[in-house]
Amino acid sequence: MSDGPDESSDCVVSEAPSGCRWVRAAGTLSRNARDTLVLLPEGGEDQTPLVVSGSAALLWELLADPIMLSELAAELAAIYEVEASGIEVGLAPVLEGLHTAGAIERSP
């Protein structure tokens, strides 16, 4: 169980090693409302829920098991029938935001 971002939290997603895998932080609470995702990472009293729109619900499903950014992008690209490279560029800051908030962590 994570108490928030691990010691690699200063390693932003876009600079993480290419083999780095990401996974939901075990303590993160979540709900889906259509394609909107509501998350509450484990943390202090001041931590407020994050509301992530777009294809966030699907992204969260894929993050149930450790997965690399490139694999995530490929999965989403196949579903949405677009180029994976374009998705990867857009996905990196989303993962970065989730990581900073403590909602996801690097898989050991």
Residues lying near other proteins in the complex (CB under 8 A): 1, 26-34, 36, 38-40, 42, 45, 47-49, 51
Query: Minimum distance from CB of 6 to other proteins (Å)?
Result: 14
Instruction: To the nearest 10°, report the CA torsion of 94, 65, 81, 50.
Output: -30
Query: Minimum distance from CB of 12 to other proteins (Å)?
Result: 25
Phi, psi of 57 (to 5 degrees): -60, -40
Query: Minimum distance from CB of 75 to other proteins (Å)?
Result: 22
Query: Minimum distance from CB of 46 to other proteins (Å)?
Result: 10
- Shorter beta-carbon distance to other proteins: residue 1 or 18: 1
- Shorter beta-carbon distance to other proteins: residue 36 or 85: 36
Residue with tokens 């889906």: 32
Neighbours of 40 (CB within 10 A): 17
CB 57, CB 36: distance < 8 Å: yes
- Shorter beta-carbon distance to other proteins: residue 16 or 39: 39
Q: Which two tokens stand for residue 39?
A: 């998350």
